Amino acid sequence: MATVTRSLGTDLRQLLPANQVFDGIEDRTLYAYDGTSLKALPDVIAQVRNAAEVAAVLRFASDHEVPVVPRGAGTGLSGGSVPAQGGIALVLAGMRAIKEIDTSSMMAVVEPGVITGVFQKTVEDAGLFYPPDPASLNYCTLGGNIAENAGGPHGVKYGVTKDYVLGLEVVIPSGDVVRLGGKQIKNVTGYNLVQLFVGSEGTLGVITEATLRLLPKPPAKKTMLAIFDRLDDAATAVAGIMAGGVIPATLEIMDQKSINCVEDYLKLGLPRDAEAILLIEVDGMPAAVEAEADVIDRICREKGVRSFQVAKDKKEEDSLWKARRSISPAISAARPSKIGEDISVPRSAIPAMVREIQRIAKEYDLPIVIFGHAGDGNLHPNILTDRRDHKEMERVEQAIAAIFEASVKLGGTLSGEHGIGLSKQPYMDLAVSKETVKLMADIKRALDPKNILNPGKIWRA
């Protein structure tokens, strides 16, 4: 679609300082990928420092019909920031100021390039808490989290990124800068446009500032590890805990394959024949935490837990987390590549879903480890493979399609927290009706009539 006659780099250097524009083939190669290993070369990279620069780039891109792909730290897991149709890679990672932490209203105002983990530490120093905790929190950006509506283990109790975004400054494709929402917890002044942009994967506008809601930092926490012989017992324990009135801060599950994978790697002494491990954390006021831990202990025992451990101190806490945190390196040690998926099913469908995935693993003869967030139904089946083995990769593709089909059949969907981007686009029809896609496309057209912002993502034209 690009109608460019001279070099884009030359044009952009008229708009931005020359040291913020890169177009050598080496630099383009550096901005071709994200955390999926998908890649497509941008024609030029523009690093921006403020909304005015973003607006100048978008105005230019609209006039010349050049694709613009917003990019934070490029750690996304669905190809959202991969420049599928070339054009301008608009890099916001340099906008990393925490502009304000308002302790009395419990709000923060941030630029999009702030690293999530850095933000969490900063607010914690002020006695506050920002719960969304994607696994990549030490290197992903808040802007990217908002654009993808990222989640994490805290989702079960605290929700996901969308639950914390109250205000946004967005540059829309026309180059206009709009300010939406603000520090108000209640706000029904017109459409809820803030939420339209959350999870829009960079297709509707470019986020240049966000106002985020914060919570008081919970003073106490308790970590527990429950090992179950049978997957179904673990699942009924999860349901029982919720029904018993406790919503844990995190409730993670590991299946038998991930237990064995970690055991191969670290020899922690985990029981290889156990079908599931639950890692449970409760947080809040000290007395409440004690009471909740007692409920969890009782319910796990009622449901036939094989072993139940409670961490007494920080050191024991770390050792209980060790198995869960070691899954990624254990997988890496096992095979050259991994393909991580991100399905989300109703909580009650978890055991059925795990068994479906295990069946698919057998059918396509692929090692698949399953772990994830049992508390909110978001599972991460990880296929261990070798990207260079094209024959095996064909089977991987088929297995992924089968997993999505199974998820939708069980009332689930394609993605809980990674987004659709490019990698899950072929399966959109499974989860979303034609009419729904048309509505999305209509909204996109209204905001971006020339289709310059992250074109070709989420659904297929």
Partner 1 sequence: MEFNELAALFKCNKCGSCTSVCPLYQNTVHEGMAARGKLALLEGVADGRLKAGEAVRAKLEDCLLCGACTQNCPSFVPTTDLFLEARAGLAKDLGLPVPIRMLLAALQSPALMNLGTPPLALLQRAGIPRIMLDQLGGLLPDVVRAGLRSMPPAPLRSFRSRAEKLRTNGDGRRGTVGYFAGCFMNWGYADAAMATRTMLTRGGFRVEVPAVVCCGVPHRAYGDIEAARDLARKNIAALEQYEHVVTDCASCGAALKEYKRLLKDDPEYCARAEKLSGRAADISEFLVKHEFPKPRGHTPLRATYHDPCHLVRGQGIKSQPREILQAIPGVEYVEMQGADVCCGAAGSFCVTHPALSEGVGSNKADSILETKADVVVSGCPSCLTQLKAMLAAKGSKIKVMHPMELLSESYKTGTEEKR
Using alpha carbons only, how large is the chain's radius of gyration in Å?
23
Q: Does 50 bind partner 1 (CB under 8 A)?
A: no
Closest distance of CB 90 from partner 1, Å:
13
Q: Does 37 bind partner 1 (CB under 8 A)?
A: yes
Closest distance of CB 81 from partner 1, Å:
11
Rounded to whole angstroms, the Cα distance separating 460 from 219 reads 47
Q: Does 24 bind partner 1 (CB under 8 A)?
A: yes
Residue from the set 34, 201, 255, 376 that interacts with partner 1 by CB under 8 A? 34
In this complex, which beta carbon is closest to partner 1, that of residue 186 or of residue 388? 388
Is 341 within 8 Å of 370 (Cβ atoms)?
no
Q: Does 93 bind partner 1 (CB under 8 A)?
A: yes
Q: Does 388 bind partner 1 (CB under 8 A)?
A: yes
In this complex, which beta carbon is closest to partner 1, that of residue 33 or of residue 308? 33
Residue from the set 4, 16, 33, 187 that interacts with partner 1 by CB under 8 A? 33
Stretches 155-163, 282-290, 328-336, 439-447: which one binds partner 1 (CB under 8 A)? Answer: 328-336
Residue from the set 32, 97, 126, 291 that interacts with partner 1 by CB under 8 A? 32
In this complex, which beta carbon is closest to partner 1, that of residue 423 or of residue 451? 423
Which runs of consecutive H residues, i.e. helices, occur in 303-349? Answer: 314-325, 327-334
Closest distance of CB 336 from partner 1, Å:
6
Applying the rule CB under 8 A, the residues between 414 and 453 that interact with partner 1 are: none
Residue from the set 96, 222, 324, 418 that interacts with partner 1 by CB under 8 A? 96
In this complex, which beta carbon is closest to partner 1, that of residue 39 or of residue 217? 39
Is 162 within 8 Å of 153 (Cβ atoms)?
no
The β-bridge relationship of strands 107-110 and 206-213 is antiparallel
Is 454 within 8 Å of 82 (Cβ atoms)?
no
Rounded to whole angstroms, the Cα distance separating 395 from 267 reads 31
Output the CA–CA distances (angstroms, integers) from residue 106 to 102, 119, 152, in the order listed: 6, 14, 21
In this complex, which beta carbon is closest to partner 1, that of residue 31 or of residue 228? 31
Backbone angles phi, psi at 165, to 5 degrees: -95, 115
Which residues, in sequence order, are CB contacts of 223 under 8 Å at separation 6+? 279, 280, 281, 310, 311, 316, 317, 320, 321
Output the CA–CA distances (angstroms, integers) from residue 131 to 70, 152, 169, 399, in the order listed: 25, 9, 22, 33
Rounded to whole angstroms, the Cα distance separating 244 from 292 reads 9
Please give the DSSP secondary-structure letter assigned to residue 446: H
Q: Does 174 bind partner 1 (CB under 8 A)?
A: no
Closest distance of CB 92 from partner 1, Å:
10
Residue from the set 62, 75, 385, 413 that interacts with partner 1 by CB under 8 A? 75
Rounded to whole angstroms, the Cα distance separating 28 from 68 reads 14
Closest distance of CB 79 from partner 1, Å:
11
Binding site for partner 1 (CB under 8 A): 24-27, 29-37, 39, 47, 73-75, 91, 93-94, 96, 113, 115, 117, 136, 138-140, 328-329, 332-333, 336-338, 387-388
